[in-house]
Structure 1
Amino acid sequence: MSTASSEDHPHAAHAATVQDTGEFGVISRITAGRRQPDSTLLGPGDDAALVAVSGGVVVASVDMLIEGRHFRIDWSSPHDIGRKAVAQNAADLVAMGASPVTFLVALGCPPNTGIAFTDALNEGLWEEAACVGAGISGGDLVQAPGVTLSVTALGDLHGRRAVLRSGARPGDVVALAGATGYSVAGYTLLSRGVTARTAAAAECLSVHRAPRPPYSVGLAAASLATAMIDTSDGLVSDLGHIAAASGVRISIDSRALGSPEPVQEVAALCGASAADWVLDGGEDHAFAGTFPPGEQLPVGWRLIGHVDTAADTGPGVVVDGEPRRPGGWTSWKAP
């Protein structure tokens, strides 16, 4: 019988870790050299995968929410957690130009979890699924040390082309549907224990607990957008994904972007920068996209910048002419 060496241990102190490598570095290692079957039209690297099936294409995505990492049960109600779990998956499908059709939900929880908790969680899941005309068609239930949700989303392009991150071209304009900065404002209030009974604080807390992706506005852009993404990691980070996939530079005009008044109010209360929150705060699940020049933007989209040829330093995002490093959400970043 052989025994594993200390080098094989997943937590070996001297070995490279997932935190050292980073989320996208780990994904690259997982996918490098792997050959996809012919049925996989688009694999890892976009908001969702495209899989060919008899009679069409299925758009598929999966996300997990872990208690203590993605939500806290002392901050969010189970109903809100359910809505958030579906919303972040539905937004990924919409960013590809697909209408959500159904969701599969796997729940892990301790054995002493109250039935009232799971009932309210279920109500939230179904309520958000109904917002996109979808249902929940299956899943799994297992014992776990904490509450864990894994949601798989399946969508339909209805014969349209998929909107990929790689489609942006120099000369395109950059636009945003929805608003950013709300969720990080709500998170900051909660994490700092700041008590503010104002309409602005309530709005930011509400969005943090259960985001409100502008689904219909996103889908309305599917036939025109050259690239689109769900702003789950932060506007600069996610536009950076489009820039990298398309080999371009994306320029944002901060004056056109602006900062919503509730975000400004909470930022002032917390001694933070509303502009930074709007650029880098994640989990708002707005949609950012690029569009051909000269075309009228779909209703609900507003111009915030343009696409240029990549600089000598490579693809990236600039704000008001200055390069901007992503500062939003990454996996293994301290919560």
Structure 2
Amino acid sequence: MSVTGVGEFGLIGRVTARLSYGPTCLLGPGDDAALVTAPDGRVAASTDVLVEGRHFRRDWSSARDVGHRAAAANLADIAAMGAAPTALLVALCAPPDLPASWAEELADGLGAEAASIGASVVGGDMSASPTLTVAVTALGDLAGRAPVLRSGARPGDVLALSGRTGWAAAGYTVLSRGFRTPKLLVEAYRRPQVPYRAGPEAAAAGATSMIDVSDGLLADLGHVARASGVAVDVRRDAFEVPRQMGDAAQALGVDPYTWILTGGDDHALAATFPAGTELPPGWRPVGAVTDGEGVTVDGRAWDGPAGWDHFR
């Protein structure tokens, strides 16, 4: 049955019945607004939108996959501030002929990804639209810590990374060429593996700046460099090319380091730490912060696009 057959409120009832709520949710869907705890007194907030044909394709990803991706893109931004995610608000704009089961499975993916870090889907909105669109707002709690901003990097800091890069970009390339294997890469595109807890742990360890790698490592480090008024150099030898990625790159005629350094959608976390800091578990050094401006690789400018830009 389509969403038209179920109706707006029938669909809301079906979707909300599939959700569960964690301890940070005091009041879930059903009233004019949800109630979420904010023990710190400050709320970290971020929003992101996924548009069919631009961010996902239904012939590439299941509705549950899209739910995981939509939640991850927002929860990662909260983690990159050093905060713990608490809640998601979701708006769904759907064509009238969209199967109601697709919306239900989307909710399953959103709820599962949020629950993996102790957050909940607490509300949202629905509307008819010719283009299938999922808009998500994430909230988070700083637990008494100062937020970790993009503007805090200083010359002499160590650049570190938690999570992986290049996997989702490799999976996207595989899918765009009409293939469905290697499955490991395709699944990385469909459902990113985000190191959520690494954000608050980095904040507690004294990270001076941090960012979610959503558009490509070099592109996102460019935001840190500009905001902090510094230069950032990335070491290519800090990144190993996994075997399946290397095999796929060779078969497709792609330099795997293009995926690793400029590919987005893995949602790794990149942060800078004062020299001599013992990095938290799961973090590894991949470069350094110096005087100057811009982002380089092994001391040289990168030849080509540094990452994704929606309007280019």
The alignment's TM-score, normalised by the length of structure 1, stands at 0.79
Code of the residue aligned with 1:154 in structure 2: it is L
> Which position in structure 2 is the counterpart of 1:318?
296
Code of the residue aligned with 1:244 in structure 2: it is R
> Which position in structure 1 is the counterpart of 2:194?
213
Q: What whole-Å deviation, never above 9, does each CA across 1:173-224 have from its counterpart, x for those lacking one?
A: 001101100011111111111353xxxx111111111111111223211122
Describe the shift of the 1:82–1:130 C-alpha distance in structure 2 as closer, same or farther (beyond 3 A).
same
Q: 2:90 aligns with which of 82, 97, 105?
A: 105
Describe the shift of the 1:267–1:116 C-alpha distance in structure 2 as closer, same or farther (beyond 3 A).
same
**TM superposition shift of 1:95:** 0.2
Mapped to 2, the partners of 1:60 and 1:277 lie a distance apart of 29
The answer to whether residue 155 in structure 2 is matched with residue 170 in structure 1 is yes
Mapped to 2, the partners of 1:301 and 1:257 lie a distance apart of 13
Code of the residue aligned with 2:294 in structure 1: it is G
Asked whether the equivalents of residues 40 and 143 of structure 2 are also in contact (C-alpha less than 8 Å), the reply is no
> Which position in structure 2 is the counterpart of 1:161?
146
> Which position in structure 2 is the counterpart of 1:332?
311
Code of the residue aligned with 1:118 in structure 2: it is A
> Which position in structure 1 is the counterpart of 2:274?
292
Code of the residue aligned with 1:109 in structure 2: it is A
Secondary structure, counterpart of 1:215 in structure 2? coil
Gaps of 5+ in 2: 1-37
> Which position in structure 2 is the counterpart of 1:186?
171
The answer to whether residue 54 in structure 2 is matched with residue 69 in structure 1 is yes
Q: 2:108 aligns with which of 123, 126, 148?
A: 123
**TM superposition shift of 1:323:** 1.5
Secondary structure, counterpart of 1:105 in structure 2? strand
Q: 1:233 aligns with which of 191, 200, 215?
A: 215
Asked whether the equivalents of residues 179 and 260 of structure 1 are also in contact (C-alpha less than 8 Å), the reply is no
Where in structure 2 are the equivalents of 1:145-160 lying within 5 Å? Answer: 145-160=130-145
> Which position in structure 2 is the counterpart of 1:50?
none
Q: What whole-Å deviation, never above 9, does each CA across 1:47-105 have from its counterpart, x for those lacking one?
A: xxxxxx99721111000000000000010000000010000000000000011111100
Mapped to 2, the partners of 1:60 and 1:143 lie a distance apart of 26
The answer to whether residue 29 in structure 2 is matched with residue 56 in structure 1 is no
**TM superposition shift of 1:260:** 2.7
> Which position in structure 2 is the counterpart of 1:204?
185
Percent identity of equivalent pairs = 50
> Which position in structure 2 is the counterpart of 1:258?
240
Where in structure 2 are the equivalents of 1:242-281 lying within 5 Å? Answer: 242-281=224-263
Mapped to 1, the partners of 2:251 and 2:164 lie a distance apart of 20
Asked whether the equivalents of residues 152 and 208 of structure 2 are also in contact (C-alpha less than 8 Å), the reply is yes
Mapped to 1, the partners of 2:161 and 2:146 lie a distance apart of 21
Gaps of 5+ in 1: 1-52
The worse-fitting range, judged by mean Cα deviation, of 254-263 and 59-68 is: 254-263
Mapped to 2, the partners of 1:54 and 1:214 lie a distance apart of 23
The worse-fitting range, judged by mean Cα deviation, of 323-332 and 103-112 is: 323-332
Secondary structure, counterpart of 2:227 in structure 1? helix
Describe the shift of the 1:54–1:269 C-alpha distance in structure 2 as closer, same or farther (beyond 3 A).
closer
Mapped to 2, the partners of 1:54 and 1:308 lie a distance apart of 37
> Which position in structure 1 is the counterpart of 2:65?
80
Mapped to 1, the partners of 2:192 and 2:71 lie a distance apart of 10
Where in structure 2 are the equivalents of 1:20-39 lying within 5 Å? Answer: none
**TM superposition shift of 1:265:** 2.0
Mapped to 1, the partners of 2:147 and 2:71 lie a distance apart of 21
Mapped to 1, the partners of 2:163 and 2:39 lie a distance apart of 35
Secondary structure, counterpart of 1:146 in structure 2? coil
Code of the residue aligned with 1:171 in structure 2: it is G
> Which position in structure 2 is the counterpart of 1:137?
122
Code of the residue aligned with 1:240 in structure 2: it is G
